[in-house]
A = this chain, B = another copy of it.
Amino acid sequence: MQDFILTLADLGNTNTGNIETIFAQANGFLGVRASGPVLEKNATPGSFVNGFYESNEIIYGENAYGYAKNHETMVKLFDLRTIEISLIDEMFSKLVQRELFLNMKTGILNENYVYATPSGKQIKISLESFTSHANRHVYAQKWNITALNFEGNIRVIKNAKHIAPAVDSEFDPRVREASTKLVFEKNKLTTVNSNLSLYFKFDEYNDEFELNKGQTQEFVQLYQLSRENLFLDIDYDDLKVQQEHIFQEFWDVSDIEIIGDDRLQKGIRLNLYHLFNSAGRDGKTNFAAKGLTGEGYEGHYFWDTEMYLLPFFIYTQPDIAKSLLSYRVNQLSIAKERAKELDFKGALYPWRGISGHETSAYYPAGTAQLHINGDISYAFQLYEKVTGDHEFIALARDVIYETARFWISYGFHSSRGFEIHEVTGPDEYTALVNNNYYTNKMAQNNLYYAYELAKRFDENEKESIFWQQAAKQMYFGYDNKRKITQQDDSFLSKEPWDFDETPLQNYPLLLHYHPMKIYKHQVLKQADTLLAHMLFAEDIEQMARDCDFYEPLTTHDSSLSRAVHGVIASRLGRDKQAYSFFSDSAIMDLADIQGNAAHGIHAANMGGSWLGLVYGFAGLHFTSEGELAFENHLPREIQAIKFKIKYKNEIKEVFFEQKGK
């Protein structure tokens, strides 16, 4: 049980912003940062509603045809945490003590604070709170306020404040400032440009009461936020019981035990906890790159969902997986419009955004990442394969057809095969290249899957022949001399990056070098070819050669990189390296390895840590006969692991001990 409790002592960085993120609570609809009840300097309190965004026109230094038109920014909403607490003539302004106990097992956060007045009167504030998973519109709090060393009249004002989005002064401040406008009307707020409404119902608290020394005053507060003006009667204790029950059900299937390493155990549980909390459940919202825990990446959804988060959900919480995939089904018409705007057939999903419209303002590292189409198709296919839910795929299959149509229209047949030019792969340190290996692999898979569905449903007969043909003839560059997979047509002819001459403070490179300097060198931000190898079991020797070549060129400047390298290392029997990558991935936010957890969790990496353990250490794979199989790659640093997966409605328990034991 103890290893389900997260305290401040577990954190690698106890800066205010970091605490707010790591202890943030969310339920897929609503997220609340865990800021202290008395506002601190550097605090960034606020709440978020999944998919609730404001849009603002993108201003380009130089515009061109087909560029994304609007920014979308998840709105930073009410501060539901700050209270004003005072005596008649003194404020409790000085923080004396802070304790947080996040019970990940139940999704309930307990906090204790001691604040003092300038003259030394101390008060204790205990807060129990949770974002309800039983009623996702509710954030529930129970307060206990105790006079520690005095008696007197205490005044408490607790009214949720609207918070303006923070201004990022480094990059395009004007655009961000413009996004703060909200129109309030009774219990409703509306965004100006995106014209989205949100209703709220708050129990405002504004009271004065007398406390004797040691006496405690208790009160409950319930905040409700909804896209509809419809609120149910709710009861704190009922919701709390339900919360515990729902979390129990979650952990029953999704938990991972890492025996013999408390730190990693806590890290992975924190990751799974946040994955469960921030995933959209309604088919209209998805999983933001930073979940519902912070403003980073403007609350946008990326390929992170399909390639880093969905495996976890597909294998352990298939209903959530289905919701996340439904989001893409609902976006299909917008994706078709986008392809048409760009003069291509089929559908092109946006690289980033919330509504389904492309919002990437730098297309070489945005729209050009066409692999998003293949990523989405891959996730549907994996969902079907693992859950056996053919009904859903029957309903959703247009997603697969339309993305396949896009590839046929965007690519072309040459004497070398079917080629796809002018794309950017996952590795954003190379852009606008031809025949990116990962992209071509994903497109190929997309086309085969579309062909298979067309066969199964006996439709698109003529077209599907072209899909099959393009998939069969897909071009993959290969260096015959060095026997290395080419990341793209030009990568191997680039100049090597001079790592020896790169000072440590110049990482991540993207903040210290112009894109031209980065793009023209052999240097990677993150796994690219190796990610494809992780998905499509590659011959082990080939994988080893590619890993030997690409790993030393990889900066891991992206938080999406380490987990994949970890899985590859496991498969190659490079246990020590696998352990190292996995460790970084498991405790990335717990230890604040990326240094910016204050902006929100690194959700994709959290999903990646599950991959590292399940795909990596436990070697989950499909045999050539299509059978699910495992393989023990447990590094010697870990005694044993234990977890469950759901496969075609059956729960399978997996337990691996140290090899040799």
Contacts and interface: CB of A to CB of B under 8 A. Distances in A.
Interface stretch (A129-137, A490-498, A648-656): A490-498
Given A432-B431, A489-B493, A513-B343, A172 B59 contact: yes
Contact of A362 (B61, B367, B513, B516): B61
A71 B61 contact: yes
Contacts of A61: 58-60, 67-68, 71, 172, 175, 361-362
Interface in A344-365: 344, 360-364
Contacts of A118: none
A273 B514 CA distance: 42
A432 to B, nearest CB: 5
A421 B361 contact: no
- Each complex incorporates copies of this chain amounting to 2
A209 interface: no
A66 interface: yes
Interface in A55-80: 58-68, 71
Contacts of A64: 362, 510, 514-515
A520 interface: yes
A523 B366 CA distance: 23
A494 to B, nearest CB: 6
Nearest to A435: B493
Contacts of A58: 61
A171 interface: yes
Contacts of A255: none
A414 interface: yes
Nearest to A512: B65
A517 B416 CA distance: 20
Given A490-B490, A519-B422, A514 B65 contact: yes
A171 B63 contact: yes
Interface in A411-467: 412, 414, 416, 419, 421-422, 431-432, 434
Nearest to A489: B490
B520 A422 contact: yes
Contacts of A513: 65-66, 342-343
A368 interface: yes
Given A63-B171, A494-B421, A515-B64, A432 B434 contact: no
A62 B516 contact: no
A181 interface: no
Tell me what chain A mostly uses at the interface: helix, strand, loop, or mixed: loop
A218 to B, nearest CB: 49
Given A59-B59, A62-B360, A342 B434 contact: no
A161 interface: no
Nearest to A414: B493
A364 B362 contact: no
A230 interface: no
Interface string A158-201: 00000000000011101100000000000000000000000000
Given A64-B514, A490-B434, A59 B175 contact: yes
A511 interface: yes
A520 B511 CA distance: 28
Contacts of A412: 495
Contacts of A68: 61
A454 to B, nearest CB: 25
Contacts of A519: 422, 432
B422 A65 contact: no
B60 A172 contact: yes
Nearest to A413: B495
The winner among A175, A343, A432 for most chain B CB atoms within 10 A is A432
Contacts of A59: 59-61, 172, 174-175
B367 A516 contact: yes
Contacts of A67: 61, 514
B364 A414 contact: no
Nearest to A410: B520
Contact of A361 (B62, B344, B414, B511): B62
A448 to B, nearest CB: 22
A343 B518 CA distance: 11
A170 B63 CA distance: 9
A519 to B, nearest CB: 5
Contacts of A422: 516, 519-520
A171 B63 CA distance: 6
A517 B342 contact: yes
A520 B439 CA distance: 15
**Most B C-beta atoms less than 10 A away, residue of A360, A414, A419, A517:** A517
14 contacts: A61-B68, A61-B172, A61-B175, A62-B171, A63-B171, A64-B362, A65-B512, A66-B514, A66-B515, A67-B514, A343-B514, A343-B517, A363-B516, A422-B516
Interface of A: 58-68, 71, 170-172, 174-175, 341-344, 360-364, 366-368, 412, 414, 416, 419, 421-422, 431-432, 434, 489-490, 493-495, 510-517, 519-520
Given A59-B60, A60-B362, A63-B171, 15 more contacts: A61-B67, A61-B68, A61-B361, A63-B172, A65-B512, A66-B514, A342-B513, A343-B514, A363-B514, A363-B515, A364-B432, A368-B516, A412-B495, A422-B516, A431-B432
